[in-house]
Structure 1
Amino acid sequence: MATASDKSKVTFLGRKKSQGRAAGKRTFLEICRETFLNSFRSDRPKWIILFLLSLVTSFFLFPGILLKPVDYTIGDVAVRDIKASRDFLVENKDLTEKDMEKAAREVLSVYDFDPSAASVNKVLNEAFVLGREYVAKTLEKEQSPVAVPGDSPAPLLNPEAFKEQFFQTLKVPRDDKLFKVLLKQGFPSGIEEAVRKLLSSAYEKGVVSNGALLKSQVERGGIILHELSAKKETTVNEYQRFLDLDRAKTFIRSQAASLKEFTGSSESAEAAAKLAVSHLQPNLTFNQRETERRKDLARTSVKPIYYKIKKGEMLVREGERIGPEHLVKLSEEMKSHNRIDLLGRVPAMAILIAALLSVIYLVGPSTVKTFSKSSRDLLFSAVCLFGFFLMFWGYSFVAEEMSRPTPWVTSRALLFAFPLPCAAMLVCIFQGTQIAVAFSLVISVLVSLVAGGKVEFFVYFFTSSLLAAYGVRHCTERGILIKTGAIVALFNVVLGLCLVMIFGSLYTWESIVASVSGFTGGILAGVIATGIIPLIEMSFGFTTDIKLLELSSLDQPLLRQLMVQAPGTYHHSVITSNMVEATAKAIQANPLLAKVSAYYHDIGKMKKPLYFIENQLGIENRHEKLAPSMSSLILISHVKDGVELAREHRLGKEIIDIIQQHHGSNLISYFYQKAKDRMALKGGKASDVKEQDFRYPGPKPQTKEAGLVMLADMVEAASRSLVEPTPARIQGTVQKVINNVFSDGQLDECELTLKDLHEIAKSFNKTLSGIFHQRIEYPDVAARPAKKARNGNTDQGGSEDAGTKKQDDKGEAEEGLRRLGLS
């Protein structure tokens, strides 16, 4: 009797492979030379791309290094870009002029403000006094109809003449209706006081004629408010406190209703408001003369400056006309320019970069399990490498420009803000941690060369990239990217500060800027990676764990369709996914990829679900009326149909590959044997039946995940043939299926080892034993009809005849093996 320890051991049948020992006698150099030549012959286009990438990158490092210097004079046109090869000082008149203009732009506009409006009040008083005198004289004349002899009163103006005189005194347009109201009430002082209060309330806020101009000047930084009466100036940054003419008129009309205590009636209040609106004038005026005087003073206060031309700075661009300032810079540059010393730098740099990339390309497959030489992966790596290198190259010029206005902000400190760890994150997510380490090494070397070959930049970017890659090695949700970016940001703060203090000065502004820049770079790395991952998935066809999590939801339309159209296949897929998920981690495979692939591996059966035994629920087996060759074609077609459905629903290349490979080139043994039996009955030779016609087209599994799904698919189907699924029988079935697959050579092209197969067998045994565990037999509460007992709950098996049950189980077993092709 086998012990528990014996049951956990599974032996496999293997094929012996003879290996010659002549290779061990060859020298290391011969092996390297042969490896390189064979690789170059098979991957020549990829090698050409690699060397071209190296050459172009080196030109960006030394863009003008091989060009002959040109002696320029004023008025010439630059034939190429010229950069400074060293640091030197140059007087910059343009920069001085810009500073002068900047100083002039920073001068705030001056506005004169007269809140009292005394002149308006004076005119208003004169007009109303004149009106009251006119009313008094009119009443006096009416009360004295008989003229006294000897009196000679002043002649009284007629109403029209006085009306004209009244409005001329007010200096407002003539309004007959308004004059009628004022004349009727005798030009009362209440209306006069109301008009004065309305105007004063508006003037206290400030009334401007050109509100748009005032608003634009306030938004540029504010204005200087010069109060004429108090002779003081204040800076104002709020536009809403002032009123333009339209808003002032609206404001006066809204305030008129509250002045009935002065006017006595609504008609008088309306007249007061109308008169105030007519008399309204701006009391906030733009003093252009004073503003220009202050701008001129600001320009003259700017001193001429000298600035430092730093190494790598652009002196003149291609196509620019040489001016005096260009000539000064170029003359200083040519003093230290020695073409002979710099002649070989570009090819030397190209060889250095090519050597570095070549070593990684050659050594990678033998040292990194996840290294891929596929065109897609190499193209992605090249795009990431050159793209981030090019962005850093451009950002180095931006950093130089940003550091010019402020001497305490150096370009070196600003370079720490570049989000290079984002590249390591992307490579790690799409190609694995080991490849991300090699990628981080190469890109860190290149960007440090752009930064002047300084070791602090290599240390900074390489370590932060490694940390970023480590943080996203198991990225299953987008929040991990942001979290990793935050961790890298905090790490960059400390690292940047330390590097500046080691290679620069202690306790300077540069240290603070470097820390802030490092923090910014880490945060940007996480944010950019989060946003760009979906674009990379669509462009290169990668499948990340984040996308796999989305596909693993059983509410996906394709899985819901599978559940409705092929429920048996759906149930089989769910159990298969549970089996592979529990096993994948033990064999260092991707559990999520294996699980999701198991969900979708049989979606092709939806095209003809009733031709597969798991979906034939109590109906006639349709294969009984078909020729074996036709039945095998139907079974084989579900792989092709599954691939088409997967591509239609954009499941990703990895899942599509597993769907295509999950049967490998297995033999459909049931129909193959059936075809041979029919051939024998017809008097023919069984050997005339071609075995190749009854095999799946392949390819065989290429990855651990594909091999695992194949084994789980076959083991799960075979386990359904067990009459009494005891642990021993389950173990025997698992061993038998894995032995058959291994002996048939289906696992030759994937990375599964014998140790992995042992782990797979143990995990399958454990999972299937849990699925087919024994339950106690519940007693019947009441007698039930025989038919209901046979088709009812399988847990209540007391009313079922044991012999009938065994026959049914045997039939189910034969159907399960027929599906696998194991019988």
Structure 2
Amino acid sequence: MRQRAQKIFRKLGYQKIMMMGILMIGLILYGFLVDSIRGNTYDINLFQLSSETIRSEKTVEDPIKTELERDRLAEEVAPSYQFIDEIADNQTAVVESLFGYLADAKAVPEEEGEERSSEAMMAQLREDLRLMETSENGLRLTDEMLDALLSLSNNSLVDVQEELERLLESYLEEPIRVEGVARIRTEIEQDIRRSEQIPDNVVLAAVTIGRFGIIPTEQVNEELTAGQIEQVRNSVEPTRILQGQVLVQEGQVVDREVYRQLELAGMTEDQRNYKPLLGLLIFVVIAMGLMMAVVSRSQKDDRGKITEVMVMIVVIAIALALMKLIYAVSDNFELVIAFIFPSALAGMLVRLLVNERAAVYVTILISAAAGIMLQSGYSSSLQVDVALYILLGGLAAIYLIDRDGGHGRLMQISLAVAGVNALFVAFYLLIGQTQYSWSEIGFYFTAAIVSGLMSGALAIGMLPFFESAFGMLSTMRLIELSNPNHPLLKKILMETPGTYHHSLMVANLADASCEAIGANGLLARVGCYYHDIGKTKQPQFFIENQVNIENPHDRLPPEKSRDIILAHGAQGAEMLRKYKMPKEIVDVAAQHHGTSLLKFFYYKAKETVPDIKEESFRYIGPKPQTKEIAIVCIADSLEAAVRSMKEPTSEKIKKLVDAIVEDKLKDGQFEECDISLKELKKVKAVMCETLNGIFHSRIEYPKETN
């Protein structure tokens, strides 16, 4: 499912998906609230009280709603594409013709009997290439490019031709759509620049020819697409007014919407009042705009922002569904049962899964929606008391949640929310002019306490489902994983105490560095605790665990030592997967070495096998995919290096930090994550400061003489 979501993300892009998410919020709000703002005035005679309850006498289709549904589904039909096999052959034939013209221009006619001048060759070549230059794509080769090509020997020219044809065939045999042409042209350009078959002086010409050769191989099949749209439209079940459906209750006033339904049922007709709908639309637009502003301030990457939006959508939908349930049964009670709604649920979930700013926004939105939906009596305006009740309870939970809490802490917060709710109920009862019995007062205070406790209980119960569905790792879950009593952490401590201490040191460096650049420091810290768990497989082969024992690598060939060292990342990731650890933690174990080179054993092996391949001594990777893992990668190498340093000073530490970061940059270890050079500069400064704080106060004590 996650792979499918990633595929959709790549296809549509951040902007489209974000707009779809914001629009979904609007549709959900509008859909849940629209019934609450409609007037309940129905009658067989327009604007008059109905003398009886009127039900539809037959099932009839509502053509307007049916057509809207058909249009909506028709707009969602993706175009059908058709792959054209001949394009690859045509483009390679064009390249073949181009190089044929080059060969012809270089050839010396028999009647001339001497080498042709460059002007003559260029004139003939320009004449031959005229059609290509005026084609749809327009091959544009400068005189310098043509001179470079003409300067090649015939054999070199053939090599360039064959290489270009090979590359074009490899790319054009795959489906390419119009929107993907630019990306494929960039890829073939990179391949051409890396090719050893193409001399440096003709690279620009080869790139121009290669990019010219890439054109779409897939085209929209208009006929098939139209057929699919028609099929989808025909498959839509008509929206119907069902037989026996109540159209108007006795004593109610008939409005225009009811009149229209009565007309469809063969009874009468009416028009609908659109003012409340327009007012609700304005509210929805405001909500969508605020959400866009909240998401735009997030420090996450595009994919992270989309995940945050999806979480907010689901939380809002759940809260609105609970409101709808309460609203559905409210007519059976004389009291205001809206106070039983879990006021802090939405705020708690969004605070734990997203951030505080988003949680405040969702709480305000839910409270406003509750004021609209949970109306009591015959009021059609905003129910301010219910809105304030949910707003204050939600804000109390948001600002009481911190990074140091767990499930127990969340229940304590729920008790605090219950207290806030009870205080608001006291305010509500005291400020009102209504006289309440003791049973009614008891009901309202009980509802307030149940609301607070239910908020925490539901949040705890729902968190695992959100984490699983959206691949998220909440602060609460990270705190639980950092508990030293966790079985895996106890395993590391008992079996590899040196690695355990190393992990703590790396965690301190990574946490501080992540906080400095706005990354998730807690995630980096917890990931460090587990990143070397693979060393528990063979702990004695890692130097931090070699206390008072001989280094076993001294008795092994470098290839064997290499296999043991390189395996610990993959083995650790596999162990974490077996324990069903979060993907983010598994990724730290798998990626914290990237594809870096195991230099010591590589050079040791090279002493006996000079032509040994460097790739065989590199970690399998992948390279760090996030800022947090990139920082862990630096901290891991740095801690090990500083630990082996004699008499570390501030200057030595700074040089070491600079050297390690520079080495990883040159080795391309940060190519697949979005950490910037500016952020790396901050990371280096924080790591130097942290290490100086550890080592600067050490005092060299005199050695004992006994």
Instruction: Give the structure-1-normalised TM-score.
Output: 0.50
Distance apart, 1:601 and its partner CA:
0.5
C-alpha offsets along residues 748-787 of structure 1, whole Å, 9 cap, x if unaligned?
62484634532232112222456x653442232xxxxxxx
Q: Is the 8 A contact 1:735 1:761 kept in 2?
A: no
Counterparts of 1:7-18 in structure 2, within 5 Å, are none
Distance apart, 1:436 and its partner CA:
1.2
Query: Which of these residues, 708, 713, 721, is aligned with residue 644 of structure 2?
Result: 721
Query: Which of these residues, 671, 684, 690, is aligned with residue 763 of structure 1?
Result: 690
Query: Which residue in the other structure is 1:479 paired with?
Result: 408
Query: Which residue in the other structure is 1:663 paired with?
Result: 593
Q: Is the 8 A contact 1:646 1:656 kept in 2?
A: yes
Distance apart, 1:364 and its partner CA:
4.1
Query: Which of these residues, 624, 639, 650, is aligned with residue 700 of structure 1?
Result: 624
Mapped pair 1:392 → 2:364: no
Query: Which of these residues, 634, 650, 662, is aligned with residue 711 of structure 1?
Result: 634
C-alpha offsets along residues 367-420 of structure 1, whole Å, 9 cap, x if unaligned?
1225774465444332211011111111122233222xxxxx3x3xx3133113
Query: Which residue in the other structure is 1:135 paired with?
Result: none
Distance apart, 1:319 and its partner CA:
7.1
Query: Which residue in the other structure is 1:529 paired with?
Result: 459
Query: Which of these residues, 56, 61, 64, is aligned with residue 33 of structure 2?
Result: 61
Give the partner amino acid of 2:354: Q
**Pair 1:433–1:731, CA change in 2 (3 A):** same
C-alpha separation in 2, matches of 1:736 and 1:328: 80
Distance apart, 1:517 and its partner CA:
3.8
Query: Which residue in the other structure is 1:329 paired with?
Result: 249
**Pair 1:358–1:321, CA change in 2 (3 A):** same
Mapped pair 1:594 → 2:524: yes
Partner SS for 2:574: helix
Query: Which residue in the other structure is 1:463 paired with?
Result: 392
Distance apart, 1:428 and its partner CA:
0.7
Query: Which residue in the other structure is 2:357 paired with?
Result: 434
Counterparts of 1:797-808 in structure 2, within 5 Å, are none
Query: Which of these residues, 449, 454, 461, is aligned with residue 382 of structure 2?
Result: 454
C-alpha separation in 2, matches of 1:52 and 1:356: 11
Partner SS for 1:663: coil
Distance apart, 1:494 and its partner CA:
3.7
Partner SS for 1:524: helix
**Pair 1:366–1:382, CA change in 2 (3 A):** closer
* Number of equivalenced pairs: 485
C-alpha separation in 2, matches of 1:66 and 1:329: 13
C-alpha separation in 2, matches of 1:459 and 1:514: 15
Query: Which residue in the other structure is 1:353 paired with?
Result: 284
Query: Which residue in the other structure is 2:681 paired with?
Result: 754
C-alpha offsets along residues 38-68 of structure 1, whole Å, 9 cap, x if unaligned?
9964464565465455435423323496999
**Pair 1:328–1:448, CA change in 2 (3 A):** closer
Partner SS for 2:252: helix
C-alpha separation in 2, matches of 1:577 and 1:776: 32
C-alpha separation in 2, matches of 1:358 and 1:692: 53
Give the partner amino acid of 2:433: S
Give the partner amino acid of 1:486: L
**Pair 1:494–1:39, CA change in 2 (3 A):** farther
Partner SS for 1:62: helix
C-alpha offsets along residues 697-726 of structure 1, whole Å, 9 cap, x if unaligned?
3332524x4344323211211023223445
Instruction: Give the structure-2-normalised TM-score.
Output: 0.57
**Pair 1:371–1:522, CA change in 2 (3 A):** farther
**Pair 1:690–1:592, CA change in 2 (3 A):** closer
Q: Is the 8 A contact 1:662 1:707 kept in 2?
A: yes
**Pair 1:652–1:735, CA change in 2 (3 A):** same
**Pair 1:382–1:366, CA change in 2 (3 A):** closer
Give the partner amino acid of 1:699: K
Distance apart, 1:663 and its partner CA:
2.6
Query: Which of these residues, 472, 489, 503, is aligned with residue 418 of structure 2?
Result: 489
Q: Calculate percent identity across the aligned residue pairs.
A: 25
Counterparts of 1:204-219 in structure 2, within 5 Å, are none
Query: Which residue in the other structure is 1:785 paired with?
Result: none
C-alpha separation in 2, matches of 1:350 and 1:693: 62
**Pair 1:335–1:345, CA change in 2 (3 A):** closer
**Pair 1:54–1:590, CA change in 2 (3 A):** closer
Query: Which residue in the other structure is 1:640 paired with?
Result: 570
C-alpha separation in 2, matches of 1:670 and 1:729: 21
Counterparts of 1:36-435 in structure 2, within 5 Å, are 41-42=13-14, 44=16, 47-48=19-20, 51-52=23-24, 54-63=26-35, 329-334=249-254, 340-343=271-274, 349=280, 353=284, 356-357=287-288, 360-361=291-292, 363-370=293-300, 373-374=303-304, 377-403=308-334, 409=335, 411=336, 414-435=337-358
C-alpha separation in 2, matches of 1:470 and 1:372: 27
Q: Is the 8 A contact 2:22 2:288 kept in 1?
A: yes
**Pair 1:70–1:59, CA change in 2 (3 A):** farther
**Pair 1:625–1:745, CA change in 2 (3 A):** closer
Distance apart, 1:334 and its partner CA:
1.7
Looking at CA atoms only, which structure, 1 or 2, has the larger radius of gyration? 1
Q: Is the 8 A contact 1:600 1:659 kept in 2?
A: yes
Partner SS for 2:389: helix
Query: Which of these residues, 540, 556, 559, is aligned with residue 486 of structure 2?
Result: 556
C-alpha offsets along residues 225-274 of structure 1, whole Å, 9 cap, x if unaligned?
xxxxxxxxxxxxxxxxxxxxxxxxxxxxxxxxxxxxxxxxxxxxxxxxxx
Q: Is the 8 A contact 1:580 1:712 kept in 2?
A: yes
Which shows bigger deviation, 666-675 or 64-73? 64-73
**Pair 1:349–1:720, CA change in 2 (3 A):** same
**Pair 1:623–1:69, CA change in 2 (3 A):** farther
Distance apart, 1:462 and its partner CA:
2.8
C-alpha separation in 2, matches of 1:343 and 1:327: 19
Partner SS for 1:340: coil
Distance apart, 1:365 and its partner CA:
4.8
**Pair 1:340–1:757, CA change in 2 (3 A):** farther
Query: Which residue in the other structure is 1:625 paired with?
Result: 557
Mapped pair 1:445 → 2:368: yes
**Pair 1:532–1:52, CA change in 2 (3 A):** closer
C-alpha separation in 2, matches of 1:648 and 1:699: 22
Counterparts of 1:805-820 in structure 2, within 5 Å, are none
Give the partner amino acid of 2:645: L
Partner SS for 2:645: coil
Distance apart, 1:350 and its partner CA:
6.4
Partner SS for 1:618: coil
Distance apart, 1:668 and its partner CA:
3.8
C-alpha separation in 1, matches of 2:420 and 2:649: 56
C-alpha separation in 2, matches of 1:455 and 1:738: 59
Query: Which residue in the other structure is 2:142 paired with?
Result: none
Give the partner amino acid of 1:390: A
C-alpha separation in 2, matches of 1:352 and 1:597: 43
Distance apart, 1:354 and its partner CA:
6.5
Q: Is the 8 A contact 1:576 1:598 kept in 2?
A: yes
Distance apart, 1:649 and its partner CA:
0.9
C-alpha separation in 2, matches of 1:513 and 1:779: 81
Distance apart, 1:525 and its partner CA:
1.8
Q: Is the 8 A contact 1:579 1:767 kept in 2?
A: no
**Pair 1:636–1:620, CA change in 2 (3 A):** closer
